[in-house]
Amino acid sequence: MARISMAEVIVALVLSAAMLQVTYAEDYTVGDSTGWVRPSDSTFYTNWAADKVFHINDTLAFDFTTGAHDVAIVTKDAYDSCSTTNPTQLFQTGPVTLTLNSTGEHYYICTITGHCSAGQKLAINVVADSDNTTPGPSGSTTPPSAASSSRGFTFAFFMFVVIGLLF
């Protein structure tokens, strides 16, 4: 049986880690099975996002009926005041899937009259994968979600399998 050097093991581990880091992303359907609708509870989307940690390359799927709802990407001020004028981007044909491509706060509202003020709005914070905690929209700290924790477990399991195959 061929003997594997420590250098080969290290190279395999580094390449495996790089591959895992590049290919992993979480897909979220905003509101889960409820979708993107005018909620009966004004805190519905805040509660939906509260236990999630969003990362670069994760996706948000806004599932809504065209003409009944839309999705506007807005500033914090527009989010807070439910201002529908001058959104950064407006998507009027549903469903819409957006890839999170920058860290920081992200704000979404429905511009249909009365929907935002009824709670059809979403604020999330996108973090880099190396972050262990997430500042929430109000500045509070939220621990990593099960999805985030499973990233570490998946990585550890994958590395265990690679090492096992090498020896």
Judge if the upstream peptide bond of residue 137 is cis by omega within 30 degrees of 0: no
Q: What domains can you pick out in the chain, each with its CATH number?
A: 26-148 (2.60.40.420)
Supply the pTM of this predicted model.
Answer: 0.67
Q: What is the pLDDT of residue 144?
A: 38
Crossing angle for the helix pair 146-166 and 6-23, to the nearest 10 degrees: 150
Q: What is the pLDDT of residue 129?
A: 75
Q: What does pLDDT average to in each consecutive run of 10 residues of the chain (167 residues)?
A: 64 52 80 97 98 97 98 98 97 98 98 98 91 41 39 55 58
What are the φ and ψ backbone dihedral angles of 12, each rounded to 5 degrees? -65, -40
Taking CA atoms, 9 is separated from 18, 23, 64, 153, 162, in Å, by 14, 21, 49, 20, 9
**Separation between Cα atoms, residue 117 and residue 73, nearest integer Å:** 16
